Amino acid sequence: MDITAVQAYMREQRIDGWLSYDFRGNNPVFAQLLPGRRFVTRRAVLFIPAAGEARLLVHHIDHGQYKDAPYPLDLYLSWQDMRAWIASRLEGRGRIAMEYAPGGGLPVVGIVDAGTVELVRSFGADVVSSANLVQVSVAVWSEAAAKNHAIASKKTGDIMRGAFGLIRERLAAGAAVNEHQVQQQILARFKAEGLETPDGPIVAVNGHAGDPHFEVSPENPATIRMGDWILIDLWARLPGDENIFSDITWVGYAGREVPAMHRAVFEAVKAARDAGVECARRGWRDGRAVQGWQGDEASREQIIKAGFAHGIKHRTGHSLSPGPKVHGMGVNIDNLETHDTRELLPGVGFTIEPGVYLPEFGVRMEIDMHVHPQEGPVVTSCSQDQPELVA
């Protein structure tokens, strides 16, 4: 983390300090501010002032777990000691950021318990959300992470094409092929290419594609036949929490001509994807900050106009950032599940993945984007413009 950039952003936003609080590893933001695996049993507090030295407070018992911490370390024994330390750090400071979401609006940063927020307020502080501080600290892509993401994106694109290629080859040969077989080939290719994934991927046929989080059954997978619709969603990265997942979704049809209804849904979702991309880029060109909810609105509007509002089941996109999870800690492209007012700040990444899910089939088209500090929002993954025909 570039603490000088974080502190500069705090001063720009008139935030006097950032108090990140953790109890037994319950705060994923705290864990990324202090990377490393630790077995801890007591409360810990990291205070980053808008100017000056950051300091870390941990219990005597947990002292050994933080010997490698990049900040000066203070120890406490009693709860009175901890409160006195917090009070001393907050003295003379008004606006204090915490992992707090007003009204529960952003659950990804709504982490600190209400009692601890009350404690901080009792010292005269005005508690504000650390949501955008999380973006400029742990959600930004390093130069190395951006390069490794490009490598992963090239490999996942090739693997996606290979998955549809397997289906095409099997159907052409009159051989059987099912969802589980395609999934296992994808996983084998991940391993061969030196990529890691925590779960998945999704290979979904016909009505299964109408379930956004369909799980392939190894015992009873659907067979892929001529006339079937296929959705494949895969995600992988180069190993290590410092790297960013490439997360993409394509769809295809086992035939020579896509049915009219499938084509209509595909075109609506494609228009929604492109509108989300353009919203991000237009804001950068115009010199105005685009917020996550605005990208979602621009995208979903296309699906609604096409008459498929009833098929919307999720937001337009999620964060892509360093850390253990595919869904990152930064801005989501969302005004459906949450009203995400975080900005598409330089250095952050996210997906654009609108979808329409019907009982008979579903269409999702997922790409990855990164707000390059000089170039603005750029697409970093492969992109699909026509359904894959596997006949």
Per-residue pLDDT tens digits for 121-172: 999 999 999 999 999 999 999 999 999 999 999 999 999 999 999 999 999 9
Burial of 254 (0-12, 13-18, 19+ CB in 10 A): buried
pLDDT of residue 53: 95
CA distance readout (Å), 297 to 235, 292, 338, 353, 386: 25, 9, 12, 13, 24
What is the spatial distance between Cα 79 and Cα 59, in angstroms, rounded to a whole number?
Answer: 10
- Average the pLDDT over 227-243 and give the result: 97
Per-residue pLDDT tens digits for 5-52: 999 999 999 999 999 999 999 999 999 999 888 889 999 999 999 999
Region for residue 212 given its phi and psi (left: phi exceeds 0; alpha: psi -120 to 50; beta: otherwise) = alpha
Backbone angles phi, psi at 53, to 5 degrees: -85, 130
pLDDT of residue 289: 85
Taking the model in full, what pTM does it have?
A: 0.93
Q: Take residue 37 and report the two structure tokens written for it.
A: 């695996």
Q: Take residue 96 and report the two structure tokens written for it.
A: 């204090």
Q: Which fold has domain 141-389?
A: Creatine Amidinohydrolase (3.90.230)
CB 133 within 8 A of CB 101: no
* Paired sense of beta strands 126-129 and 43-49, if any: unpaired
Select from 62, 91, 65 the least CA-distant residue to 75. 62
Domain boundaries, given as residue ranges, for the chain: 3-138, 141-389
Cis peptide before 28 (omega within 30 of 0): no
Mean pLDDT of the chain: 96
Band of the pLDDT at 189, cuts 50, 70, 90? Answer: very high
- Average the pLDDT over 336-362 and give the result: 97
Per-residue pLDDT tens digits for 68-117: 899 999 999 999 999 999 999 999 999 999 999 999 999 999 999 999 99
Band of the pLDDT at 342, cuts 50, 70, 90? Answer: very high
pLDDT more than 90, % of the chain: 96
Burial of 363 (0-12, 13-18, 19+ CB in 10 A): buried
What is the spatial distance between Cα 364 and Cα 347, in angstroms, rounded to a whole number?
Answer: 26
What is the spatial distance between Cα 369 and Cα 328, in angstroms, rounded to a whole number?
Answer: 13
Select from 297, 340, 298, 302 the least CA-distant residue to 318. 340
pLDDT at 1 over 80: no
Select from 384, 379, 378, 350 the least CA-distant residue to 365. 384
Band of the pLDDT at 341, cuts 50, 70, 90? Answer: very high
- Average the pLDDT over 59-73 and give the result: 93
pLDDT at 240 over 90: yes
Tokens 């509007």 -> residue = 301
What is the spatial distance between Cα 311 and Cα 261, in angstroms, rounded to a whole number?
Answer: 13
Tokens 């979602």 -> residue = 296
- Average the pLDDT over 184-208 and give the result: 97
Q: Which of 1.10.10.60, 3.90.1640.10, 3.30.70.260, 3.40.350.10 is the CATH number of 3-138?
A: 3.40.350.10
pLDDT at 248 over 90: yes
pLDDT of residue 2: 85
pLDDT of residue 247: 98
